[in-house]
Amino acid sequence: MNELILQEKFLSKETKGFLLITTLFGILVVILSLLGESNPLHLPVYVVNLLGKYVTYAILALSVDMVWGYLGILTLGHCVFFALGGYVMGMYLTRSIGAQGVYGDPILPDFMVFLNWHELPWYWQGLQYFPLAAVLIVAVPSLLAFVFGKLAFSSRVSGVYLSIITQALTYAMMLAFFLNELGFGGNNGLTDFKTLLGFSLQTDGIRIVLFALSVLVLCLSYLLCRSVLISKLGRLCIAVRDAENRVRFIGYRVENVKLLIFVLSAAIAGIAGALYVPQVGIINPSEFSPVNSIEIIVCVALGGRGRLYGAVIGAILVHIAKTCFTNLMPEFWLFALGALFVLVTLFLKDGVAGMINSWINSHHAKTEMRMA
Amino acid sequence: MLLTVLFISTVYAAEPDYEISKSLKDSLTDSKAKSRDNAIAILSEDLSEQNILVLNKLKNGLVYYDSQKEIFLKESVESNCYIQPSTSQKVCNLKLRRSGISTLQKKKIESILLKSALFSSNDSDRAKAVKKLLEIESQNDLPSEETIDKLIRQESQKEIYKDLKIVEALIQSRSPELGVQKLISCIDILEEKGNAACIQAIDRLKLSTNSEVSQRATKAASSLSFSKSISDFFEKIFFGLSLGSVLVLAAVGLSITFGVMGVINMAHGELIMLGAYTVWIIQQIMPQSMGLALFISIPCAFIVSAFFGILIEHFVIRHLSGRPLETLLATFGISLILQQLVRTLFSPLNRAVATPEFLQGSVQITSNLSITCNRLSIIFFSLVVFAVIVLVMKKTRLGLEVRAVSQNRAIAKAMGIKAEKVDVLTFGLGSGIAGVAGVALSQITNVGPNLGQSYIIDSFMVVVFGGAGNLWGTLTGGLIMGIANKLLEPVSGAMLSKIIILIALILFIQKRPRGLFPQRGRAAED
């Protein structure tokens, strides 16, 4: 799968291709959406919004691929980091509402007024400042990943056990965020956002900007992952995936390698969540639900693990399919998703990206034969 | 069809054996609920058997009438058949209007019926009625002291006499003019009974102006509250045991398959659900005998779930051997498909599974500790199933082979054990047990498409806690988890207790990564 990564340059052929295609796609969508309404090629803003949502899922899938594809840990709860990042963003947006809420309280969010709270809990303090929110978007998921990873990896919980515990983690977080006493809006979550950095979220312009920003973050995350992977840490990470005990016997601290990659991945997932929330306009505890994490896993599996761009392809494909199915025949989506799991694991071990790769390789081999 | 029924019923109409007077008819068929007061008054003048029946039907909102002002009594809430009281004929599927009553009128009917039952000549009816008096929360609803006095003088049955004495004490405790001695003897009687109503009465007596009475009442109240907290504790333990035994049933199949094949079957919860649905289907087939249906559904559920399990093994898991994480994903896909299948076939709503007569009711241990029969039988049932599994594992050829394969697959194969065959049988066995767990669950929770999901994470935690592939680990793990859950719930709320248990489990795994009773193996990669 990754035999060649050790000799790879930072900007490999795939990376260049990926960046080129993604940038072109982003620019194309922005241009098409800016065309006049009468133009046949005009993209309605709701489609741009939808695409922006897909791109945030792609960033999340990228972070999952770091952990599952390169570290070999099947995480069934990665949405926990996504949702936490989203909640921090949601808190910032909620504080930005100010006195424009239903109850018009300048400080307290609507749901707190509704619950008869009289002061802001300590963890809501200061979140009206974007720089602090931006720091917390990365810090909160990273911190949880650090604590959880420290506990799990140092006790050498691995394989299926670890997968189940990650699932239980996200399940527990979901239950916790459903509680009204926690002060995150209970089962309604946070919604009715008005502005982001002073710009109204209802305008078309900000939606296009958010989409472009998501594409930019996708490219940057991709480059970040690449740079980690070709470093010594990345090589160790792949070594841990393929033969954990050998790496340990040589004398490396396996748990530290795992922890670094895991925390990095959680931070990226948190950023994805933060981009997701203003585009969807709501964040509630259902984002923690185990099924969401599983959907992301199937994206990575379908796209192909351990390739980075595979995860992105998978995320886009699965979510396009999901949108189509839920609009046409909602009952059918879960059948399709279930079948996707079974078929991909049975017949498409390396995913779509693997297929593309082998096709390109065989094509190359043929041309070389002809040259010879 | 309907016409023929009606036709036959008119031809064979029997002589009217119960005449409904015109005034009663009018007050029952009036559209205003207020006129029902009149009907209740007419009916309670003569408490004949028929009148009591009509009162009962009226109380439960089962009295209907047609456009000719003919009265019909519906058999039950679910049925569409009616009895005509004047002819005792049964007719079905009619369009009728209901004769509704207000909650106040319902209360009135209840008190009338209770009074009539108190003076009933049938011993068991009378005993039930007196027991009901003891459950009444506010003592203003109790009958007058003269009524009770009359009853006490008539009573020949010892048990009922005792209960009546307590009712008398409840009434007398409200009249301080009776004197200190009388009140203190009341407190003695009330303390002995010690149920909710008695505790209320004693609490009121604490405020008595007489110091002797209030001291005695305070003493009684504190001893009662102590015994109540003890019985509450035992009740929690018992609830925990019943939850735990369900968890054991749900997790044991998972544990066996994980021990032998090293794969986690994410569709295990859905196999439990299929077992629960089997009960529902069989009860639909034979609605006359719920108890028998439940017993028949135990082997049926085993077979249904085992069949699905073997299918999953044959078509999916077998092809993913040596890739546990992929197996987990594939079986997760299967669980989504099974859930959606049930939603499409049976509707996404919950299905009502009936609890047979012999599982209803409860066993009274002390005055404020009662144990419900269905939970008791579930504990018993789980232990029996568990014992059977242990016997299979310890005493049969299959059990021997299963243990061999789970300890060391390669060597077992070298010894001539067909590992693939063991895989299929193990998977069938584990899945079948899941089906049986579904039968047990159908008696205590709602049967719906999400039934499996709500138990699967808990079962996984039991497996992780107890150590995979170890039966005794699963038993201890399940019971401990159940009891911990129920002890934490009142302290921290249901959701928080789940979270606390999860965190505790993660910390526990720090100490023992392979659970309470880890499987012994020699592989370095374990």
Q: Are strands A195-196 and A199-200 parallel, antiparallel or unpaired?
A: antiparallel
Look at the alpha carbons of A212, A216, A219, A222 in this order and tell me if their dihedral is positive or negative: negative
Rounded Cα gap, residues B7 and A3, in angstroms:
87
Interface contact flag, B333 A161, Cβ < 8 Å? no
Chain B residues with CB inside 8 Å of A176's CB?
A: 495-496, 499
Summarize pLDDT for A129-156 with one digit per residue, the tens.
889 999 999 999 999 999 999 988 887 7
Distance between CA A130 and CA A196 in Å, rounded? 9
User: What residue has token string 């919860």?
Assistant: B269
Beta-carbon contacts of residue B214 (< 8 Å; ≥ 6 apart): B205, B206, B207, B208
Least confident of A225-229, A309-313, B443-447: B443-447
Tell me which residue in A163, A290, A342 faces B330 most closely, judged by beta carbons: A342
Tell me phi and psi for residue B468, to 5 degrees. -70, 145
What does the alpha-carbon distance between residue A239 and residue B229 come to, in Å, rounded to a whole number? 58
Q: Is B264 helix (H, G, I), strand (E, B) or coil?
A: coil
Record: contact B264-A168, CB cut-off 8 A: no
Q: Give the confidence band of B523 by pLDDT, cuts at 50, 70, 90.
A: very low
Q: What is the pLDDT of residues B92-127, one digit of tens each?
A: 777 777 777 777 788 888 778 777 777 777 777 777
A345–B320: do the CB atoms touch at under 8 Å? yes
Q: Which residues are within 8 A (CB) of B127 and not within 5 positions of it... i.e. 6 or more apart? A: B157, B159, B160, B163
The number of CA neighbours under 13 Å toward the Cβ of B362 is 11
Contacts of B339 in chain A (CB under 8 A): 334
Torsion, Cα A139 A141 A142 A145, to 10 degrees, reads 160
The pLDDT assigned to B68 comes to 78
pLDDT score at B7: 41
Measure the CA–CA gap between B95 and B72, rounded to whole angstroms: 11
Q: What is the pLDDT of residue A103?
A: 77
Residue B495 belongs to what H/E stretch? helix B494-511
Per-residue pLDDT tens over the stretch B22-48: 777 777 777 777 777 788 878 777 777
Closest chain A residue to B334 measured between Cα atoms?
A338
- Kindly tell me if the per-residue pLDDT of B195 is higher than 80: no
Residues from chain B that touch A156, judged by Cβ atoms under 8 A, are 513
pLDDT in the model for residue B105:
80
B505 at interface of A, judged by CB pairs closer than 8 A: yes
Spatial distance between the Cα atoms of B389 and B432, rounded to a whole number of angstroms: 11
On the question of pLDDT at A1 being above 80, the answer is no
What are the tens digits of pLDDT across the range B431-456? 999 999 999 888 888 888 888 887 88
Query: 3-class DSSP state for residue B457?
Result: helix
Alpha carbons A66 and A238: distance in angstroms, whole number? 10
The distance of A25 to chain B (nearest Cα, Å) reads 31
Most confident among A170-184, A272-286, B255-269 (mean pLDDT): A272-286
Domain ranges of chain A: 13-369
Residues 219-278 of B with CB under 8 A from A: 258, 262-264
Kindly report the nearest CA distance between residue A161 and chain B, in angstroms.
Answer: 7
Q: So what's the pLDDT on residue B526?
A: 44
Residue B499 confidence (pLDDT): 79
Interatomic CA distance for residues A86 and B429, integer angstroms:
44
List all residues 6 or more positions away from A106 whose beta carbon is below 8 Å from its beta carbon.
A98, A99
Phi, then psi, of B92 in degrees rounded to 5? -125, 160
When scoring B263, B264, B265, B328 by the number of chain A Cβ atoms within 10 A, the one with the most, hence best to mutate, is B328
Rounded CA separation A316/A331 (Å): 21
Beta-carbon separation of A74 and B264 below 8 A = no
Instruction: Report the range of poorest mean pLDDT among A49-63, B203-217, B471-485.
Output: B203-217
Instruction: Among A74, A155, A168, select the one facing B461 at the smallest CB separation.
Output: A168
Q: What is the pLDDT of residue B299?
A: 94
Residue located via tokens 């609009």: A327
CA B412, chain centre distance (Å): 45
pLDDT, average across residues A268-289: 92
Average pLDDT over residues A85-98: 90
Cross-chain residue pair A176–B258, CB shorter than 8 Å: no
Rounded Cα gap, residues B246 and B379, in angstroms? 8
pLDDT > 80? residue A301: yes
Please determine, for residue B2, whether its predicted confidence score (pLDDT) is greater than 70.
no
Query: Is B14's pLDDT higher than 70?
Result: no
The tens digit of pLDDT for each residue in B300-337 reads 999 999 999 999 999 998 888 778 778 888 888 899 89
Task: Mark yes or no for CB contact B329/A167 under 8 Å.
Answer: no
pLDDT of amino acid B283: 87
Confidence band (pLDDT; 50, 70, 90) for B75?
A: confident
Axis-axis angle for helices B373-395, B419-442 (nearest 10): 170
> B71-74 and A195-196: which strand pairing?
unpaired
Instruction: Specify the pLDDT at position A218.
Output: 95
Tell me, what's the pLDDT at B470?
80
In this predicted structure, the answer to whether residue B157 has a pLDDT above a threshold of 50 is yes
Q: Is B347 on the interface with A (CB under 8 A)?
A: no
pLDDT at site A322? 87
Q: Which residue among A157, A178, A335 places its CB closest to the CB of B340?
A: A335
CA distance A357 to A27: 26
CA-wise closest residue to B84 among B20, B144, B130: B20
Residue A73: what residue type?
A: I
Quickly count: other Cβ atoms within 10 Å of residue B387's Cβ.
10
Closest CB to B328 among A148, A152, A160:
A160
Nearest Cα to Cα of residue A283 among A348, A349, A188: A188
What 3-state class would DSSP assign to B377?
helix
Residue A7: its pLDDT value, please? 57
* 3-state helix/strand/coil string of chain A: CCHHHHHCCCCCHHHHHHHHHHHHHHHHHHHHHHCCCCCCCCCCHHHHHHHHHHHHHHHHHHHHHHHHHHCCCCCCCCHHHHHHHHHHHHHHHHHHHHHHCCCCCCCCCHHHHHCCCCCCCHHHCCCCCHHHHHHHHHHHHHHHHHHHHHHHHHCCCCHHHHHHHHHHHHHHHHHHHHCHHHCCCHHHCEECCCEECCEECCCHHHHHHHHHHHHHHHHHHHHHHHHHHHCHHHHHHHHHHHCHHHHHHHCCCHHHHHHHHHHHHHHHHHHHHHHHHHHHCEECHHHHCHHHHHHHHHHHHHHCCCCCHHHHHHHHHHHHHHHHHHHHCHHHHHHHHHHHHHHHHHHCCCHHHHHHHHHHHHHHHHHHHHHC
Average pLDDT, chain A: 87
Segment A223-240 shows an average pLDDT of 91
The reported pLDDT for the residue numbered B458 is: 84
Chain A residues with CB-CB distance to B316 below 8 A: 342, 346
Q: What is the pLDDT of residue A24?
A: 92
Q: Which residue type sits at B327?
A: T
Handedness of CA B388, B390, B391, B397 (dihedral sign): positive
**Max mean pLDDT range (A76-90, B244-258, B273-287, B348-362):** A76-90
Q: What residues in A contact B337, CB-CB < 8 Å?
A: 334-335, 338-339, 342
Query: The tokens 């065309």 sit on which residue?
Result: A35
pLDDT at residue A195 tops 90: no
B339-364 residue pLDDT tens: 989 988 887 787 777 777 777 777 77
Among the partner-chain residues B325, B340, B510, the one whose CB lies closest to the CB of A74 is B325
| Rounded CA separation B521/B516 (Å) | 15
- pLDDT at site B334: 92
Could B511 and A337 be called an inter-chain contact, meaning their C-beta atoms sit closer than 8 Å? no
HSE value, Cβ hemisphere, 13 Å, CA-based, for B500: 14
pLDDT of residue B368: 64
CB contact under 8 Å between A151 and B506, yes or no, is yes
**In B317-418, alpha helices (H):** 324-346, 373-395, 397-407, 409-414
Decide if B326 touches A, using CB distance below 8 A.
yes
Q: Which strands form B71-74's sheet, in the order they lie side by side?
A: B89-92, B81-84, B71-74, B63-65, B97-98
